[in-house]
Amino acid sequence: MSDLIDPARWDIARHGLALLIAYVLALPIGWNRELEERSAGLRTFPLVAVATCGFVQAVEPVTASSPEALARVVEGLITGMGFIGGGAILRRGDSVKGTATAASLWITGAVGVAVGLGSLDVAVALAVITAATLWFITPLKGDAGSHEDLDADS
């Protein structure tokens, strides 16, 4: 147990930088969802990225010698993000709303995991593709409904 509180194991600068990168990469996604008045927005998305990155980094010392253990942690995060995203999906009559927000939450979790694992190229690519899809594809859909819907994305 004393190993866990050994200051030699603390790498605050490296971990802090990774958490900051995860936060910054999630901001444009959250900003889009906020501007579109969706069920999750500017606060939720950066928190999701930071949390998933933090979980990966927190177990790093414990799973360093066991890739299978780290894989189980990542599997749990994937499942958890699916569960959180499922909460953003609403069914109203014959329509389903919130699927883009749910997918964005799931991808934002993947951004955090990628940063936590040190795969910054993957994290940046996921963030850019997601932000570009939300910002540039949505206007091509035309009038998808009013903002009075709880979460009128598809």
| Domain assignment of residue 53, yes or no | yes
pTM assigned to the model: 0.80
| Domain assignment of residue 148, yes or no | no
Q: What is the DSSP string of 11-80?
A: -HHHHHHHHHHHHHHHHHHHHHHHHTT-SS-TTHHHHHHHHHHHHHHHHHHHHTT-HHHHHHHHHHHHHH
The pLDDT assigned to 52 comes to: 96
pLDDT higher than 50, residue 147: no
| Domain assignment of residue 34, yes or no | yes
β-strands 90-92, 95-97 pairing: antiparallel
| Domain assignment of residue 7, yes or no | no
CA distance 105 to 41: 10
| Domain assignment of residue 83, yes or no | yes
* Structural domains in the chain (count): 1
pLDDT, one tens digit per residue, over 44-86 is: 899 999 999 999 999 988 888 889 999 999 999 999 888 887 8
pLDDT, one tens digit per residue, over 95-131 is: 877 888 889 999 999 999 999 999 999 999 999 999 9
Helix or strand or coil: residue 110?
helix
Domain that holds residue 62: 13-141
Residues 80, 86, 87: CA angle, nearest 5 degrees: 100
The pLDDT assigned to 16 comes to: 93
Closest CA to 130 of 89, 97, 88, 101: 101
| Domain assignment of residue 40, yes or no | yes
pLDDT, one tens digit per residue, over 33-42 is: 888 777 677 8
